[in-house]
């Protein structure tokens, strides 16, 4: 069975964008692939974070993955720092990765602007560790959105450079592009993000979720209730596409374009469909919060399985490098 790797940072509350853009798709992929899903805590320390909350965040992130439907019987869930071979391989990959490649990475440029007071080496080297995360398991596919394709291309380049110099050890992973719609934040401008405070949290109370949805930006050109709108440029319609069936989408599209429905009517329909899907996830998460020992057991069991794969890959890598065993 072909292997997939993907990771998620424990930097804050899991939001609607994470769920629609990644996690929901991961659940489906476990039926077709050997899936490895990682809480990438070492990636998260490249920016400022709450040290006192960090362990709790890692557990909560794994807990939400389980609540969303990922089963430890069908995939491996673990924390990155529990398998130290990730960082060992990253150092080796540093030795074959040109600095110029890293300086050109879009994410490094964006994060450097966001964190001007802390532009550190880890921020630049992030994609190399990401390549190690993927290639330590010799993953053939990585499910990503379009904004992450550049990182997968770098992983492929790293694999090529290593193989050309030391022998054919690593496969060139392929990006498995998500078909999920790209969801913006409630401001309608930027990607949904806890940092930008424009998010709808996956486990938020329904009252909080509705208030954020109620005040979310729609088609800015639709000023009055009687004005026709354009669903193609409305973020609320984009979220509808993730939660509503085709009949509702047709009704919303027509109602918006003809001013047959107002934005609040549209949001109420969306909220009903969102809560129908997210309600059971919230209930499962609340149940798991009462049994975090189970979540920790899942993480440790996942790390044990992944460690065996990683150790075998590193033994092969060290042999290729000519390192003394």
Burial 275-290 (b: 16+ CB within 10 A, else e): eeebeebbebbeebee
Residue whose token pair is 């600095």:
99
Could you tell me which of 187, 238, 248, 180 has the C-alpha nearest to residue 212?
Answer: 187
Q: Is 173 found in the same domain as 145?
A: yes
Query: What is the C-alpha end-to-end distance of the chain, expressed in Å?
Result: 31
Summarize pLDDT for 224-282 with one digit per residue, the tens: 888 888 999 999 999 999 999 999 999 999 999 999 999 999 999 999 999 999 999 99
In a domain, residue 190? The reply is no
**Beta-carbon contacts of residue 294 (< 8 Å; ≥ 6 apart):** 288
In a domain, residue 200? The reply is no
Q: Is 11 found in the same domain as 86?
A: yes
CA separation for the pair 205, 65 (Å, rounded): 18
* Predicted local confidence at residue 290, as pLDDT: 95
In a domain, residue 140? The reply is yes
* Predicted local confidence at residue 229, as pLDDT: 87
Q: What value does the mean pLDDT take over residues 125-144?
A: 96
Q: Is 253 found in the same domain as 237?
A: yes
In a domain, residue 242? The reply is yes
Q: Is 121 found in the same domain as 15?
A: yes
Partner residues linked to 4 by β-bridges? 35, 141
Active site residues: 111, 191, 194
Can you give the CATH number for the domain in which 253 is found? Answer: 1.10.240.10
Q: Is 247 found in the same domain as 123?
A: no
Global model pTM greater than 0.85: yes
**Beta-carbon contacts of residue 206 (< 8 Å; ≥ 6 apart):** 275, 279
* Predicted local confidence at residue 85, as pLDDT: 98
Q: Is 235 found in the same domain as 129?
A: no
Q: What value does the mean pLDDT take over residues 118-137?
A: 90
Number of domains in the chain: 2
The boundaries of the domain holding residue 152 are 3-183+292-321
């Amino acid at each position: 069975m072909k292997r997939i790797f993907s990771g998620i940072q424990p930097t804050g509350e899991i939001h609607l964008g994470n769920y629609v853009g990644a996690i929901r798709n991961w659940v489906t992929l476990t039926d077709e692939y050997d899936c490895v899903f990682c809480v990438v805590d070492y990636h998260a320390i490249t920016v400022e974070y709450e040290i006192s909350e960090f362990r709790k965040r890692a557990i909560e992130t794994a807990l939400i993955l389980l609540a969303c439907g990922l089963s430890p019987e069908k995939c491996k869930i673990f924390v990155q720092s529990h398998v130290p071979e990730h960082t060992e391989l990253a150092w080796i990959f540093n030795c074959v990765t040109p600095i110029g490649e890293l300086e050109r990475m879009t994410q490094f440029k964006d994060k450097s602007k966001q964190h001007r007071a802390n532009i550190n080496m880890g921020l630049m080297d992030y994609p190399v560790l990401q390549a190690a995360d993927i290639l330590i398991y010799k993953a053939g596919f990585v499910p990503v959105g379009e904004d992450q394709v550049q990182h997968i291309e770098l992983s492929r380049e790293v694999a090529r450079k290593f193989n050309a110099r030391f022998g054919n050890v690593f496969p060139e992973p392929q990006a498995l592009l998500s078909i999920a719609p790209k969801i913006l934040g409630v401001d309608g401008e930027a990607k949904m993000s806890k940092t930008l405070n424009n998010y709808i949290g996956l486990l938020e109370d329904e009252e909080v979720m509705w208030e954020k949805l109620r005040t979310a930006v729609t088609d800015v050109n639709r000023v009055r209730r009687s004005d026709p709108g354009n669903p193609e440029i409305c973020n609320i319609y984009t979220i509808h596409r993730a939660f509503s069936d085709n009949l509702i989408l047709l009704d919303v599209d027509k109602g918006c374009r003809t001013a047959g429905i107002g934005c609040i009517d549209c949001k109420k329909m969306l909220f009903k469909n969102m809560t129908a899907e997210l309600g059971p996830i919230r209930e499962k998460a609340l149940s798991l919060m009462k049994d975090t020992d189970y979540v920790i057991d899942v993480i440790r069991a996942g790390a044990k399985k992944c460690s065996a794969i990683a150790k075998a890959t590193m033994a092969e890598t060290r042999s290729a490098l000519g390192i003394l065993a």
